[in-house]
Amino acid sequence: MIPKKFLQNITKPFGITEGESEVLSRAIQGESLDDIAQELGISRDALQKRLGEVYKKFKILGFGPGKLAKLQQRLVEEYQKYRQNESQKAEMDISIESEDISLSYLSKQEMQLLYVLLLNKSGIDLTVIQKDIFPSVSLGEILIMVGEMLKQGLLQETKIDGENKFILGDDLKISLAQQLKIQSKLIIESFNFEELTLSDLWQKLGLINDEKTLLNEHILNKYLAIYFNDCGYDAYEIWELNTAQKYLFTALKFADNLDNIYYNLGLVYEKMQDWQSALNYFKEAWERNQDNNTSLKIADMQKKLNSNIINNS
């Protein structure tokens, strides 16, 4: 989805009016012309006239719905360039802010704890650290580790909802977020994600040395799955569908029981017009969470598949 503010800024130099921008914004999101006309209180002819003016100003040639698809692709490409430039600026800013923060001396257990805190926004208490993150480590060892990390400023203790919890400092949060972003990108772009195992992913994120230290039920698996799922959905929204697939399949490796991952894969395949794969993933999502939106998607995919069968017979 292209943000409305970005759309207004990029169309302004072409002389697009506010009314034309409103129609364009809704049309490229997939709303039907009849629905748009009804919501704006104008006739379908007036709506098509506004779109026609937009095509002229952008010099989009052709006939029928293909013109809207061409314009949509052009706007998506411009938005992707904008996001890439903003991302590069942010990476430069973050590298400057965090260049004095070095985490290379930390143990794998300390890194695991820091990543849990990065991905868990609500903070965690000592009980969670002992029972869920390091169940095989003694309480004494955990107290020593947490105490040292507090002294070094890696952790800070605060009260959240009346409970004492540990959170990250702001500077460390920036550094870790940047590390995770870079490492995640390397995993997605540089490796065959289908062959990656869970232990491979932990190693590439710098969280373990070998498989022996890997806990399949580690609490961080769920948080990393949510993180990669969010990355996949972001890529889906800007039509980077292959990248979205890779992020979402990586999310499944960390946790294969989250319905949102399957639902988002269904959305990706729906955009690819692979109705059967979309249907399969929406059904997987439904098995885990009987959500009304998922039910509607299943019905829609079945309708599209039936329509294809009729058209091909």
Round to whole Å and give the CA distance between 76 and 64.
20
Round to whole Å and give the CA distance between 268 and 301.
13
User: Cβ(22)–Cβ(33) under 8 Å?
Assistant: no
Round to whole Å and give the CA distance between 123 and 114.
11
pLDDT in tens, 167-223: 887 767 777 888 888 888 888 887 777 778 888 888 888 777 665 555 567 888 888
Q: What is the DSSP letter of 101?
A: -
Q: What is the DSSP letter of 29?
A: T
Determine the pLDDT at residue 166: 81
- Beta carbons within 8 Å of 270's beta carbon, 6+ residues apart: 278, 297, 301
pLDDT in tens, 32-42: 888 888 888 88
∠ CA 19-76-268, rounded to 5°: 115
Determine the pLDDT at residue 233: 93
pLDDT for residue 102 is more than 80: no
Round to whole Å and give the CA distance between 90 and 34.
41
pLDDT in tens, 122-180: 788 888 888 888 887 888 888 888 888 888 778 878 887 777 888 887 767 777 888 88
Residue type, 88: Q
* 76-80, 180-184, 197-201, 299-303, range with the lowest pLDDT: 76-80
Determine the pLDDT at residue 101: 46
Determine the pLDDT at residue 100: 44
What integer best gives the mean pLDDT of the chain?
A: 81
Q: Is 2 helix (H, G, I), strand (E, B) or coil?
A: coil
Determine the pLDDT at residue 94: 46
Q: Which domains, ranges and CATH numbers included, belong to the chain?
A: 4-97 (1.10.10), 101-215 (1.10.10.10)
For residues 224-235, average pLDDT:
92
Express as a percent the part of the chain with pLDDT over 90: 17
User: Cβ(212)–Cβ(108) under 8 Å?
Assistant: no
Full DSSP string of 219-266: HHHHHHHHHHHHHHHHHHHTT-HHHHHHHHHHHHHH-TT-HHHHHHHH
Largest Cα separation within the chain, whole Å, is: 75
C-beta neighbour count of 246 within 10 angstroms: 23
